[in-house]
Amino acid sequence: MHNTIEDHNRLEALKRFDESKAGVKGLVDAGITSIPSFFVHPSETLSDLKPTHHTPVQSIPVIDLSGFDSDRRGAIVDQMSRSARDFGFFQIINHGISPEILERTISAVKAFHELPAEAKAEFYGRPGGGEAGFSYSSNIDLYRSKAASWRDAISVRLGDFTEDRIPEICRGAVAEWDGEVVRLGEVLLELVGEGLGLCAGRFGDLSCLGARVMVGQYYPYCPQPDLTVGIASHADPGLLTLLLQNHIGGLQVKYGGVWLDVKPLPGAVLVNVGDLLQIMSNDEYKSVDHRVLANMNREPRVSTVVFLSPSKKEELYGPLPELISKDKPPLYRQFTFSEFIQKFLTKELDEKSLKKFFRI
């Protein structure tokens, strides 16, 4: 009986939070000094948040992309391939995107989240995307997760979005960033494909840049950062994820059973392998768990991620035939991208490594 009352009270608190449409930032603006109980994560999630005495010296590889179309290409492909196989993450510099565009993108996400609550409320919805291709929410898995995470987010379906449905405060920057993502995405997919020994254009032929979703995350100050997280441990669903982050750290990547801090590198774009690329590469490349700690700084952490995925939803995906042999049989079954995404949308975020659902 006690559990039923507790569950009912929790659901009521979630509804009140959701229906306020003010997000986590609204709680901070209201001056709260302790976080609502539905944000408190179970002790097993929190047990490894505290830094260990032996700080890992390992860090995420940094790849200089300059000269990728020159005689440096082989070395860049080799470095990228090793990073994708070992870490699943790497930062790229000299990628051809101006610092001004990077700054405008982050500033536009921050500007939307710092609008008055009533101005944001009309865009509030779950799950992200919607018919308009733009939505704002706090915790896309709010009602499914064991505990909420301390962040708000906007979601933009790129490529086919109607610009006038995007709030004016971030419209121009989002369109500009999408153009850069397409250009850089084409280069990255070529390079990671070469690292697998694939023919030029292989990922392009599979429409792997066709569906792009941008998520602009806002992590305000948290008064009790040791009780919650900014985003729970998870792996990404698509082929590649491109991430920009401001100077406030908090992102961690799991490597060799240890959480590594990903220190923000000015001007860099962070790239990571998604579950679909691990499946298509037949486990050559690794999609790894990562998370964001709750922000203990008075200044917000702001990031924007773009997930690159195929637009051909009903085609079959699985390990690429070129990467299957008698010695390396397929490790996953085939599936449509629609089935893949459906599975993603019905799980809570911290259970969202999709690889296990399709493994043979």
CATH number, domain with residue 218: 2.60.120.330
Q: Degrees (nearest 5) of the Cα angle 308, 309, 313?
A: 160
In terms of average pLDDT, the best of 1-10, 268-277, 335-344 is 268-277
Element (H or E) spanning 180, and its range?
Answer: helix 168-195
Its pTM stands at: 0.92
* Total number of domains constituting the chain: 1
Q: Which domain holds residue 62?
A: 2-358
Q: Give the per-residue pLDDT at 261.
A: 93
Contacts 24+ apart (CB under 8 A), 181-186: 181/212, 181/214, 181/242, 181/306, 181/308, 182/209, 182/212, 183/96, 184/95, 184/96, 184/97, 184/242, 184/269, 185/209, 185/212, 185/240, 185/242, 185/306, 185/308
Band (pLDDT 50/70/90 cuts) for residue 160 is low
Q: How far apart are CA 318 and CA 33, in angstroms?
A: 48
HSE-CB of 112 using CA atoms within 13 angstroms: 36
Judge whether 189 and 204 are in contact, CB under 8 Å: yes
Band (pLDDT 50/70/90 cuts) for residue 312 is confident
**Lowest mean pLDDT segment, chosen from 268-272, 276-280, 310-314:** 310-314
**Lowest mean pLDDT segment, chosen from 16-25, 182-191, 197-206:** 197-206
Mean pLDDT of the region 65-73: 94
Q: Give the per-residue pLDDT at 73.
A: 96
> pLDDT above 70 covers what percent of the chain?
92
> Looking at per-residue confidence, does 1 or 95 come out higher?
95
Q: How far apart are CA 260 and CA 11, in angstroms?
A: 35
Q: How far apart are CA 214 and CA 126, in angstroms?
A: 15
For residue 62, CA distances in Å to 59, 86, 191, 250 come to 9, 13, 15, 18
User: By CB neighbour count within 10 A (0-12 exposed, 13-18 middle, 19+ buried), where does 17 fall?
Assistant: buried
Q: In 270-322, where does DSSP find H-type helix?
A: 275-280
Judge whether 279 and 332 are in contact, CB under 8 Å: yes
